[in-house]
Amino acid sequence: MEGSRSFLLQFAKRPKINMFTSVVVLGGIIIVFLFAYTAFGDDSEKISLNQVNIIFRHGDKTPTSSYYNDPYKETIFWPEGWGQLTKKGKKQMYQLGELLRARYGQFVGPYSTQNVRVDSSDHDRCLQSAGALLAGLFPPQGEQVWNNNLLWQPIPVHATPLDMDKLITMRAPCPLYKEEQKRSDKSLAAVYDNAELNKYLTEHSGQNITTLLDVETLFNILETERDSGKDLPSWTISVFPDKMKDIAALVLASFTNTPLMKRLRGGPLIKEIKTNMESYLSGTSRRKLSLYSAHDTTLVNVRRALGYNDITFKPQLGAAIIVELHIINDVPQVELYYLDSYAATATKRWEVPGCSTPCSLEKFSETMGSVMPVDWDSECQHSNSS
């Protein structure tokens, strides 16, 4: 701002410009400065913002598995272990934390247990991603500094064992979902015939590739190896990524292929976020920020439960769905945004399907009613066959 002030003063003192011209030009410059501040300033300074909920994908990881002819199947290539966050992934998540701090730092303020809660998938890569993101988002301030040589503070991250998770990984047993998934997978297999591709992949990978999921699993391995800078075998050139990517995205979408699957797989997290907003409005919670460290499947589940039915959506590393609660003219409203990745330069506004803009929380709750389970456990035990 001091540099801007000096520039304006120097401009005004130029001798060959009359007073009227100076005033006009100065006025124009001030308008430009104000516009730039409005356009690129911290969005969290909107006085209407009351709460933020963010679901983000973890950072770069090592492969979770290998294939039979994989030239990189030995653990020597992956010193972190299988399915673990890499150094690059840690940097990505720290960068995402800094990005979120720039957008919401003034709104949330310094970290406190009353203002912030962090939940994570119980996979190591998600737990570590949460920690790295928090380091960028909440460097200690003032009395929070406990080591002058380390600008970092420990922040609790909550996780549920995978086989009990009903929110993020959705690994908790749900018999009804399994029944529906079997029917759905059977119908998808009948529609998508990839016999030629499957044969090619089987011959060259050494794996028995027969299903859409088999293709997606192999795609993920190749993608991870490529992203780590490793040279892929020459046989992959004709099929990766182009001929495999859409199938990989389709598999992610297949977990919420029917209305029932959306309700049981994506609905619980939407319901949680709705409850967060309602609790804040009722005064039973002071929380301003809820973070969920998750997977690509989590983001796809939520997006499709929200009403987006595209089958090509495949979140990048560090991508995030953001649900903001605003109060405008005493009306609670929901705004939905998307960050493409940890390095995104701007958020994308998502409209809530079926909810006009502005989307009131009341209308949002009504629109999402069909995908939010009332009692997930009891609904999971009910059988469609009865």
Query: Known catalytic residue: 296?
Result: yes
What is the chain's mean pLDDT, rounded? Answer: 90
pTM of the complete model: 0.88
pLDDT, tens digit (0-9, with 9 covering 90-100), for 138-158: 999 999 999 999 999 999 999
Q: Per the residue annotation, which of 43, 58, 158, 377 is the catalytic one?
A: 58
Domain finish residue from 254, 271, 306: 254
284 and 221 both lie in a single domain: no
Q: Is residue 73 part of a domain?
A: no
Tell me how many domains the chain contains. Answer: 3
- Kind plus residue range of the DSSP H or E element containing 264: helix 259-265
Q: Is residue 84 part of a domain?
A: no
138 and 52 both lie in a single domain: yes
Other Cβ atoms closer than 10 A to 26 = 15
The CATH number for 307's domain is: 3.40.50.1240
Domain finish residue from 219, 254, 289: 254
Nearest to 77 by CA among 69, 88, 66, 68: 66
Please compute the mean of the pLDDT values over residues 120-147 and round it to a whole number.
Answer: 98
Cα separation, 76 vs 230, in Å, equals 13
Please compute the mean of the pLDDT values over residues 178-201 and round it to a whole number.
Answer: 95
Q: Which domain holds residue 35?
A: 2-40
Does residue 20 have a pLDDT over 50? Answer: no
pLDDT, tens digit (0-9, with 9 covering 90-100), for 161-179: 999 999 999 999 999 999 9
| Structure confidence at residue 383 as a pLDDT band (50, 70, 90) | low
Please compute the mean of the pLDDT values over residues 285-298 and round it to a whole number.
Answer: 98
277 and 302 both lie in a single domain: yes
Q: Per the residue annotation, which of 123, 214, 296, 326 is the catalytic one?
A: 296
Q: Is residue 285 part of a domain?
A: yes
Does residue 384 have a pLDDT over 80? Answer: no
Cα separation, 339 vs 346, in Å, equals 7
Does residue 308 have a pLDDT over 80? Answer: yes
222 and 250 both lie in a single domain: yes
Please compute the mean of the pLDDT values over residues 102-131 and round it to a whole number.
Answer: 98
The pLDDT score that the predictor gives to residue 276 is 99
295 and 168 both lie in a single domain: yes
Domain finish residue from 236, 254, 272: 254
304 and 250 both lie in a single domain: no
Q: Is residue 74 part of a domain?
A: no
Other Cβ atoms closer than 10 A to 355 = 22
153 and 280 both lie in a single domain: yes
The pLDDT score that the predictor gives to residue 356 is 86
134 and 271 both lie in a single domain: yes
208 and 268 both lie in a single domain: no
The pLDDT score that the predictor gives to residue 28 is 45
Q: Is residue 77 part of a domain?
A: no
Other Cβ atoms closer than 10 A to 245 = 15
369 and 327 both lie in a single domain: yes
E strand spans, 270-365: 289-294, 320-328, 331-339, 348-350, 359-360
Q: Is residue 386 part of a domain?
A: no
Lowest mean pLDDT among 42-51, 274-283, 347-356: 42-51
317 and 241 both lie in a single domain: no
pLDDT, tens digit (0-9, with 9 covering 90-100), for 21-68: 444 434 443 443 333 333 334 444 478 999 999 999 999 999 999 999
Q: Is residue 139 part of a domain?
A: yes
pLDDT, tens digit (0-9, with 9 covering 90-100), for 221-235: 999 999 999 999 999
Q: Is residue 16 part of a domain?
A: yes
Nearest to 267 by CA among 367, 386, 159, 385: 367
pLDDT, tens digit (0-9, with 9 covering 90-100), for 81-100: 999 999 999 999 999 999 99
243 and 343 both lie in a single domain: no
Cα separation, 294 vs 268, in Å, equals 14
Query: Known catalytic residue: 58?
Result: yes
